Structure 1
Amino acid sequence: MNTKDIPTTYEFPLYEGRRPNADATGVAILRAAGAPIIGKTAITEFAVPNFGPWSTNPRNPRNPKHTPGGASCGSTAAVADLHVPISLGCQNSGSLIRPASFTDLFALKQTNNALSTDGVRICFTTLDTVGFLARSIDDLQLLADVCKIPSWTIPQTSSRKISRCISTGARCGIRRDWSQQMLCRKPSHF
């Protein structure tokens, strides 16, 4: 994602030192809302999982011998390792939700174009989506509210159930229709 005051290199030597003249839409919205832009994180080269000579491939802070899960791995690792409370990421085939599941975080992958991808290096126009990573559902809700993501709210009853479920160490998922049914399971290990 472009940031006007921090180089955006896509983890590729050809773009080393590249400084965009404007922020990506998601960055601009957060900056305008008063959020400090702490920094940029490493991604896999062009956000495609690989182990090429140029890729820094961040480590999973829960287990440094493992990957944090894919393209938004730097954003994920920064939140999971308590460097920042929230981060932006992009998803085209699991690049938000997979790293979140690998690091015990929450991710929001909203409907395509719910938040503009202007200023984001796109791999697939029909798949790429800007999303959020956080350590709590409340933080995801705050980001969705600030970015004016349409119709993304957790019903109060579900929010309370999720909090109870999480406090027991279970992993939760909510069906798309926001019904009262939730799927919960205890994590096996990290």
Structure 2
Amino acid sequence: MGNEIRFAIGGMTCASCVGRVERVLKKQPGVLDAVVNLATEQASVAFDPEVGDVPGLLAAVDDAGYAVDRAHLELRIEGMTCASCVSRVERVLKKQPGVLAATVNLATERAAIDYLPATVDPGQLKAVIRDAGYTAATVEQGGDRERDARARELAGLERDLTVAALFAVPVVLLAMGPMLWPGFGAWLTGLAPVGAWHIA
């Protein structure tokens, strides 16, 4: 049994355009049927997911000189505690018809989703996340200030940790070197100028 997706297409102006898009789609691997409507500027495609894929269908329409309507959505997700949670949310999103890509970030608690608005809408995407046991809310234009501040704080902590590690390594070598390498102390003494180890 095949899957069905719908997507909006821009740039069609006549019946000839419709025929061209339908022919292009029907030539793609795994396509069982393709119907294009000029009035609604939408295509409905039935295909076998074992043979064809959605990105290939969209690329074929783009290559034919028309524009497929894609959308991007960012959601704030709460309730994730580990990498397993991230993987679970990504899986449920990618299983939804019309979702082209989904990336979830645990540190910022956000999901970035590319999708076909003619097939799936933000409400449906938030619903599947809730069904998976998490809460989801749309990130308003301009971003969530609290999450942005948290991301900046995490970046600052990571930078501080890196600097601290760089300064700690020489100290550890000086302190532990003689115990780990018997000749380390003599080698270190040889590096110093004559008389540097003697008090005047």
Superposition TM-score, scaled by structure 2 size: 0.25
**Structure showing the higher helix proportion among its residues:** 2
Point out the structure with max Rg over C-alpha. 2
